[in-house]
Amino acid sequence: MPGDIELDTLRLLTALVEAGSLTAAARMRGISQPAASARIREFEARWQLAVVRRSPRGATLTTDGHAVVAWAREVLQSVDSMRSALEAVSQKRSANLQIAASLTLAEHLVPRWLGELHALRPSTRPVLQVVNSESVADAVRSGAAEIGFVESMSLPAGLASRTVGRDHLVIVVARSHPWARRTAPLDETELLAARWVLREPGSGTRSTFEAALGHEPQVALEATSTTALLGAAVAGVGPAVVSALSTRTELESRSLVSVPHSLDLRRPLTGVWRADQRLSEPARDLLAIAMQ
């Protein structure tokens, strides 16, 4: 088999017609005249064709050379069209960055990261899905999101990951709750006897609390909204477990009180993406910003 057709040689031959000489064609293609001659001779040897007629007056195309150039123009037009299409798709993918983030991250950290990304890449248009940590992992695995951010103790299986920060949960109650005046940490009996205001199963907050408690808690209310959880806790529905990032206002205003306890409620904040796919430049920049 003669082998693949060299597109650079086809471009050189078409340049020869346009420029009128091999020296000028070589200059158009950014190579030396000897290199251009060598490239054409290699093409002729490979395909057993004489495509250029050499004479003291210069190089011109043979009949076969004119046929090759006619075919080359069609091929090169298709290649250039394909390149333009690929560049357009690539630019569109780069411009639209699909992100999934769990609630605490999406409410308190991701907006700042996106602001820094916008300053760095103003043409990038982020699309943010706000779901729980389990759904973030599903979105990244399916390709619905290129990169995700979760707040779960357990890392999603099958995904590459990088720790971007730390967070901790707090147990908060209304000022009227009996625990509001506690100075000693809650013991296991009290923790297990309580009926809790919690996020839904699959959330990083819920999984972190359950892992630290070592038992399935009794639930008074489940909600997918941190605002709803805090409101229920203020109303006295029960003690709530939320991120320290989410309850600063309520603690400062004393509408909620943080209760001492012996649980380890620290957790990592983690960026995740598909291990079999290279992150786009905007996604890599966003990850770097999150890690700062």
> CA separation (Å) from 162 to 60, 71, 79, 81, 94?
60, 51, 39, 39, 21
Q: With the CA atoms of 259, 270, 227 and 97 taken in that order, what torsion angle do they form, in degrees rounded to the nearest 10?
A: 170
Q: Which residues contact 176 (CB under 8 A, 6 or more apart)?
A: 236
> Residue 92 above 70 pLDDT?
no
- Judged against a pLDDT cut of 60, whether residue 1 lies above it is answered with no
- As a residue count, the chain comes to 292
Domain boundaries, the chain: 7-93, 95-165+268-291, 167-266
- Residue 208 Rama label (left phi>0; alpha psi -120 to 50; beta): alpha
Helices (H), 214-247: 226-234
> Can you give the pLDDT at residue 3?
64
CATH number, domain 95-165+268-291 = 3.40.190.10
Question: Please, what sign has the CA dihedral across residues 94, 96, 100, 101?
Answer: positive
Domain 7-93 has CATH 3.40.50.10490: no
With beta carbons less than 8 A apart as the criterion, state whether 171 and 196 touch.
no
Q: Domain 167-266 carries which CATH code? A: 3.40.190.10
Mean pLDDT for the chain overall:
91
Is residue 225 a contact partner of residue 106, using CB atoms and an 8 Å limit?
no
Confidence of residue 86 (pLDDT cuts 50, 70, 90): confident
pLDDT for position 4: 78
Q: Per residue in 187-210, pLDDT tens?
A: 999 999 999 999 999 999 999 999
Give the model confidence (pLDDT) of 248-267 as tens digits.
999 999 999 999 999 999 99
Two domains, one topology: 95-165+268-291 and 167-266 = yes
The confidence score (pLDDT) of residue 211 equals 93
Report residue 157's pLDDT band, with 50, 70 and 90 as the boundaries: confident
Average pLDDT, integer, range 269-291: 95
Judge whether residue 178 has pLDDT over 60.
Answer: yes
